[in-house]
Amino acid sequence: MGETRYRRFLVTGGAGFIGSNFARMLLQGGAERVVVFDKITYAGNPANLRDLADYPAYEFVQGDICDPAAVGKALEGCQAIVNFAAESHVDRSLLSASEFIQTNILGTQVLLEAAVRLGIERFVQVSTDEVYGDVAEGYSREDDPLRPRSPYSASKAGAELMVNAYAETYGLNAIVTRGSNTYGPYQFPEKLIPLMITNVFESLPLPVYGDGQQARDWLYVLDHCRGILVAMERGEPGQIYNIGGGNERRNLDVIMTLLDLMDGPTELITHVEDRLGHDRRYALSTERLQALGWRPETSFEEGLRETVEWYRANGSWWRPLKDGRFTAYYQQNYGARARLNLETPGA
Ligand code: NAD
Ligand code: TYD
pLDDT at 322: 87
Distance 193 CA to ligand 2 centre (A): 8
pLDDT beneath 50, residues of the chain: 1, 336-347
pLDDT at 323: 72
301 carries an active-site annotation: no
CA dihedral for 30, 31, 32, 35, sign (positive or negative) = negative
Ligand nearest to the CA of 63: 1
Residue nearest to atom 3 of ligand 2 (CA): 191
Q: Rounded CA gap, 163 and 173, in Å?
A: 10
Closest to 54 in 3D by CA, of 23, 81, 79? 23
pLDDT at 210: 95
pLDDT at 43: 96
pTM, 2 dp: 0.95
253 carries an active-site annotation: no
Q: Catalytic pick from 129, 160, 190, 248?
A: 129
Closest to 144 in 3D by CA, of 240, 235, 215? 240
pLDDT at 328: 58
What separation in angstroms does the CA of 31 have from each of 56, 77, 80, 100, 310? 10, 13, 12, 31, 26
What residues flank ligand 2, with Cβ below 6 Å?
90, 181, 191-192, 195, 207-209, 214, 216, 251, 275
pLDDT at 346: 37
Ligand 1 pocket test: pick from 12, 18, 100, 131 the residue with the most ligand atoms within 8 Å of its Cβ. Answer: 18
| pLDDT tens per residue across span 230-270 | 999 999 999 999 999 999 999 999 999 999 999 999 999 99
Closest to 126 in 3D by CA, of 19, 284, 233, 48? 19
- According to CATH, the superfamily of the domain at 8-183+217-246+280-299 is NAD(P)-binding Rossmann-like Domain (3.40.50.720)
The domain spans of the chain are: 8-183+217-246+280-299
Q: Answer whether 100's CB lies under 8 Å from 155's CB.
A: yes
Three-state SS string over 135-195 comes to: CCCCCECCCCCCCCCCHHHHHHHHHHHHHHHHHHHHCCCEEEEEECCEECCCCCCCCHHHH
Closest to 182 in 3D by CA, of 130, 136, 137, 110? 130
